[in-house]
Amino acid sequence: MHNRDVLAPPPEVIARAAAWLVRMQEGKLTTEAELQLQAWRLENTEHERAWRTAMQLQEMMASVPGGLSQPVLSRQRLDRRQLLSIALLAAALPVAWTAYRQLPALTADYRTATGEQRHLTLPDGSQLQLNTGSLVDVQFDAQQRLIRLHRGEIAIQTAPDNLTDNAINNLTHKRPFIVVTPAGNIRALGTRFAVRTLDADITQVEVYEHAVALKPAGIGIETRLDAGKKALFERKKIHFMADHHQTAAAWANGQIIADNQRLCDFIADLARYHSGVLRCDPAVADLRISGVFQLKNPLQVLTVVAGTLPIRLSRITDYWITITSP
């Protein structure tokens, strides 16, 4: 069996098929629209495969009792096209897991694209910054202040919390501030800190002021991490790292700072902000670089680096660049 027979079509193809299905459900297509749909289906086999899956999905949805489908279709945070895209992705894959993993990208309260950064003031006055390629949910209620980091990196400056509960004689109480990641929880202890998901199983935490309490998902005990410290943790283990440098938080100011850093490590960091591929040839990987660079234009950073180190930028396009020896 070929890979193309078992892998889902690209997300943009799935989204397009979902869009056509929505149009059909909203009313009969015009002759011109029918011709456009037919032309799209004939462009390549992936279009036709996505469309056939859409038709199968339509039949499945038609057989679902209205009382069951209505609660889902009425959710405010997912429009019909998004729901259909998710369902099409699930139907096109051998398993529905990949579709499930796509949900945060559609439902997250806040997100940033590659190279984008975003600053938010939360309801309690705390400051939240999202780094490149991040997905975050924010849930504040009477019991807690919760940030759910699905992917990417955030920096947080917490504000004191005194919530007035009118139901209890106007008494005030402090809600815990918690960041939830796939690997576990981080509870702020009046602090400034950063959290990054390195993959689905590992979370990195750096503390800049005061402290946080780490609680891996598979361990019921919290462990304190003080200012100036850094740790990686998995579901059942915490790895304490060498003390971090404040240069690690430079991204929050739109900068990337290198201090005698290996070129390959610097390029790996910069690649997070580049919409494309940046590769470092092993022949130049161990060159050292120092400096302060602005993250708004990764291509300009590469040009500056190429002017100071004995390297060459080998371009296929601006999307795909390899750093090689001259």
Rounded (10°) angle between helices 80-92 and 97-107: 160
| Mean pLDDT (whole number) for 159-177 | 68
At 26-48, the pLDDT tens digits run 667 778 788 888 888 888 878 88
pLDDT attached to residue 170: 53
Give the model's confidence band at 201: pLDDT under 50 very low, under 70 low, under 90 confident, else very high.
confident
**Cα–Cα distance for residue pair 247/252, rounded to 1 Å:** 10
Give the model's confidence band at 171: pLDDT under 50 very low, under 70 low, under 90 confident, else very high.
low
| Mean pLDDT (whole number) for 168-192 | 84
pLDDT attached to residue 25: 66
